[in-house]
Structure 1
């Protein structure tokens, strides 16, 4: 499988066209989940529009799959050619001040290209928090893809220990913060796409304890295989934070909701994001 990563990306995109047809019409991959998520998130849209977004999602997801595979062989030069970071100065100003930056992303666009691109643009300063996979083969496979350009990965359970050990080190700590939390007693609930939705609160806790600046990172496809990473500041790291007020998480939820509405087909609708309900 990794041998395919050495093919030019335009060739991989031709494979993605076939993969789209396979997932959409043969395997019908998680079709019920995708449709339910779209209908619940956009109750104002007619069914014809929901079906159009469903098609768009499968095309997008097929591209994401082959582009993730490409990470096994992509060079720093090609990464720079294909990914531009807008407002990168927001990172550099905090690095110069000797700070660890929390970079919050979501499953919009090609989320797996964010950390590898950060490792190319910020050598030695791009770390990422991830949730280890249960399958040893896929765990090793994804680790190889995500670290190919020099990023360092930290298991989610070790995040606090890593922050204490590297306190004051200038770096970026990336987190995909829109996943469905497991321990619901430690989550923040808010209205998100017309649904009562739980969010991880780690960013609030880390930003409050370590006085970290927090940046929101959004990746936008400009054309097939080319992306802009757009950076916005949520917190400058100066003002004190109350971790229990969840100011960071609420801001993050609103940014993600805004960007999903701007490009609805580019979100990960096959994920069971709303599988939990408040109070059980």
Structure 2
């Protein structure tokens, strides 16, 4: 469960505001989301150049009208996700389980029941925060969600509260290895969002992804090789407003990854994610500067696709 939050006095009004919003019914939250969509798309034009640049480069076969349709739907989805994440401050496990459904949790459960931990690779598609938050409703095992801490102290604490309130354990990236060694004998779910952008100097693997040279974190390969984890891809489909279907696809059997430097897991993940995005492009997080780093001209492709 989540740890007690130590707030500064000046932070309480914002905390109460966010928690107050969290307790509003979904119908009202989606009315607010419609208003926020207008602000994001038409008024503030939030990262609009980034969104269109990413979409045009990722889908050169689509015309301007189709790109416009995808972009507008993306901003609608983004506004919804903002309020859906806030709803984690009050939603019950039963209600979340009804809205975020696990289609085939037996793929995970089979390994957990054998005493193994499972490494799951998700992405910034649909509502990524609801996936880990809903796991206690389907799996009776501890779940660690690896994340990058926020620089703002208030929002770091508030996001940890949202992520841990229903049972999962938010795990900062720098603490991952030590934590997993400490809990090596336990069955647990270890969840990564593996489409995040590595710092320029930490990119060890490049591959073609959505028609662009793309750098990936390779932590999944390293963890799979070190701990002999089975690795599972998480696919998410939006079934309706506030309803998501999570399904699981095996990327690597336990012990199948013996050498991290081959980056087999990362490459398989990129291919699965690419297919998923092409099926439902508006559900991906296009406002991130995913391709801000360029593949070095000196890269001879020895360790990259």
Q: Structure 2-normalised TM-score?
A: 0.89
Q: In structure 2, do the counterparts of structure 1 residues 183 and 159 end up closer, same or farther at CA, with 3 Å as the change threshold?
A: farther
Q: Which residue of 1 aligns with 2:99?
A: 82
Residue of structure 2 in register with 1:257 after alignment = 274
**Which structure has the greater CA radius of gyration?**
2
Deviation at residue 205 of structure 1 after TM alignment: 0.4
Query: Is residue 2:260 matched to residue 1:243?
Result: yes
Aligned partners of 1:187 and 1:3: how far apart in 2? 44
Aligned residues: 280
2:219 pairs with 1:202: yes
Unpaired stretches in structure 1, ≥5 consecutive residues: none
- Of 269, 273, 276 in structure 1, the residue corresponding to residue 290 of structure 2 is 273
| Secondary structure in structure 2 of the residue aligned to 1:129 | strand
Match of 1:101 among 118, 126, 139: 118
Please show how residues 163-242 of structure 1 align to structure 2 within 5 Å: 163-182=180-199, 184-242=201-259
Contact 1:101 1:214 in 2 (8 A): yes
Aligned mates of 1:240, 1:107 — CA distance in 2: 25
Which runs of no fewer than 5 residues in structure 2 stay unpaired? 1-17, 298-305
Distance 2:122 2:256 in 1: 22
CA deviation profile, 1:216-244 (whole Å, cap 9, x unmatched): 11221101111111111111114342210
Q: Distance in 2 between matches of 1:221 and 1:92?
A: 23
Q: Is the 8 A contact 1:124 1:151 kept in 2?
A: no
Normalised TM-score (structure 1): 0.97
Mapped to 2, the partners of 1:125 and 1:154 lie a distance apart of 12
1:97 Cα deviation from its structure 2 partner? 1.2
The alpha-carbon distance between structure 1 residues 186 and 34, as it changes in their structure 2 partners (threshold 3 A), is closer
CA RMSD of aligned residues (A): 1.2
Retained in 1: the 8 A contact 2:141–2:189?
no
Q: State whether residues 123 and 150 of structure 1, in contact with CA within 8 Å, keep that contact through their aligned partners in structure 2.
A: no
Correspondence for 1:156: 173
**Matched residue of 2:248: which SS?**
strand
